[in-house]
Amino acid sequence: MRNIFSPLNNAFILLFSLLSYSPVNLAEKGNLKLLPDKNSINFGYLGAFRFPIKTQGHSRMSYINGSFAISPKGNTLFTVGHEHHQAIAEFSIPDLKITENTKSLNLATNIQKFTSILLNKTRINNSQKLNRITGLEVIEGELFVNAVEHYDAPGDNYLTTFIVRDAYNLSKAQVDGFFSLGGKAHSSGWISKLPDKWQDVFKASYLHGYAANYSINSRFSMGPTAFSSYIDNFAGIDVKDGLIPTRPLMDFSIKRPIVEDLYNKSKKNKMWTEVSNAYYGFILPNSNEYLVLGNSGGHDSGIGYKATQTNGNVCGGPCVFDPKDYYNFYWIFNVNDFVSVQNGKKKTYELLPISYGKLQLPFAPKNNTKNIVGADFDEKSQRLYIMLENVDSSQSRFEIAPVMLVYSLQAAG
């Protein structure tokens, strides 16, 4: 395994180390200037907002799924509610505040009530019993939704995607699907738009990715993925189902994982483990960097299967030995490696990140992680949104709501 901690790798290591400051201190420092050349990028914390947890329609914003998408106008977002319901709603984005007091954060306003589609037999023929939404994207006014089955033991599902033909009329819009993304579960997570430069290179408009975020490793990628597609070609046309072609640019498997020592028996694996999850990936504007956000664990204490943890808890599956050994995490890949794969010079499983590491965020103190469960980049405002679960306990003694962090990510002139 190559040493990627060299200071020569890239300045994004500085970016994420600086996120260990509190929100207030980070804001006082202003935007961070990275990659100090003509393609430098400014990255700064703008503040946060929260969600009301009352039931609105078919669900509520507690015990959340985490998948969401910013609308093209940048003033609203579509999000999945309670894990058991898998319903989708639209909320306005309120004014942001920089504070560590969650009670003083502004609440998002519900625009469209939660609507059940994935689990509603009258709206869609869900023959493979998909029951977890894993990605959302609004394309030409339509809502593209990716999903998987929580426990697909045979690993034989190939359906991945449905389309709500009017994103702004969730309760009544026509729903088409299921479609099948090339790559199946390996590609059925996030959907992020390719910057114009890379659209020309990859002859595609969007990237798709996912990882082994649920059970049955054999059906997932053992590391974050990247698949390219023209999924927008399926917007605005009268097609009910079919294959959405993709091209694999980065992909792994249980036989060819991103690292061999997934249980970190060596205690030297600092990159990706059995409990690592990836929730969103996108190419940073004016750069060659593919940033993936998620969480990880076991890099310090190691991992066991049905292990007894240091606090006496016996796990039902793989888990870290030290229950405090979990953290938010990032991985950055060189997009030029994707080009090499496309040109046949590298294999999809031969790629390694150029930097990675623990990610300290506001409201997520060290050793008490509030996990990233979703993210999205708004191309119009150049803002990165990161959803943390289980942060806001001010609304109820019994339910904890998520908080959304917002960062500016703008190319310097």
Q: Give percent above pLDDT 70 in the chain.
A: 89
Answer yes or no: is pLDDT of 9 > 60.
Answer: no
Give the pLDDT score at 30: 29
Residue 4 within a domain:
no
Task: State CA 53 to chain mean position distance.
Answer: 22
Give the pLDDT score at 26: 29
DSSP, collapsed to helix, strand or coil, labels residue 10 as coil
DSSP, collapsed to helix, strand or coil, labels residue 215 as coil
- What domain range includes position 166? 12-411
With beta carbons less than 8 A apart as the criterion, state whether 210 and 225 touch.
yes
Q: What is the mean pLDDT of residues 278-307?
A: 95
> What pLDDT band is residue 409 in, cutting at 50, 70 and 90?
confident
Q: Per residue in 86-117, is it b (16+ CB within 10 Å) or e — as a string?
A: bbbbbbebbebbbeeebeebebbebbbbbbbb
Concatenating the DSSP letter of every residue in 304-336 gives EETPBPTTSPBPSSEEESSTT-EEEEEEEEEHH
Answer yes or no: is pLDDT of 355 > 90.
Answer: no
With beta carbons less than 8 A apart as the criterion, state whether 292 and 247 touch.
no
The pTM (predicted TM-score) of the whole model is 0.91
Q: What is the mean pLDDT of residues 225-244?
A: 98
Nearest in space to 159 (alpha carbons), one of 124, 191, 194: 124
Q: How many distinct structural domains can be found in the chain? A: 1
105 versus 42: the higher-pLDDT residue is 105
Answer yes or no: is pLDDT of 67 > 90.
Answer: yes
Residue 3 within a domain:
no
Answer yes or no: is pLDDT of 293 > 60.
Answer: yes
pLDDT digits (tens, 9 = 90+) for 325-346: 999 998 989 999 999 999 999 9
- What is the rounded distance in angstroms from the CA atom of residue 193 to the CA atom of residue 388? 22
Residue 397 within a domain:
yes
pLDDT digits (tens, 9 = 90+) for 356-395: 888 878 888 777 788 999 999 999 999 999 999 999 999 9
Answer yes or no: is pLDDT of 120 > 80.
Answer: yes
Give the pLDDT score at 239: 97
Answer yes or no: is pLDDT of 261 > 80.
Answer: yes
Beta bridge partners of 384: 377, 407
DSSP, collapsed to helix, strand or coil, labels residue 371 as coil
Residue 7 within a domain:
no
Q: What is the mean pLDDT of residues 189-214?
A: 98
DSSP, collapsed to helix, strand or coil, labels residue 184 as helix
> What pLDDT band is residue 41 in, cutting at 50, 70 and 90?
low
- What is the rounded distance in angstroms from the CA atom of residue 12 to the CA atom of residue 160? 33
128: burial class by Cβ within 10 Å (0-12, 13-18, 19+)? middle
Answer yes or no: is pLDDT of 16 > 90.
Answer: no
Nearest in space to 288 (alpha carbons), one of 352, 244, 236, 332: 332
Concatenating the DSSP letter of every residue in 281-307 gives EEEPTTSSEEEEEEEEE-TTT-EEETP
Answer yes or no: is pLDDT of 19 > 60.
Answer: no
Residue 171 within a domain:
yes
- What is the rounded distance in angstroms from the CA atom of residue 339 to the CA atom of residue 34? 24
Residue 333 within a domain:
yes
With beta carbons less than 8 A apart as the criterion, state whether 212 and 220 touch.
yes
Give the pLDDT score at 43: 67
Q: What's 389's domain CATH number?
A: 2.115.10
Residue 108 within a domain:
yes
Tell me the helices (H) and strands (E) count for the chain, helix number first: 4, 24
Q: In the predicted model, what is the mean pLDDT of the chain?
A: 89
Residue 86 within a domain:
yes
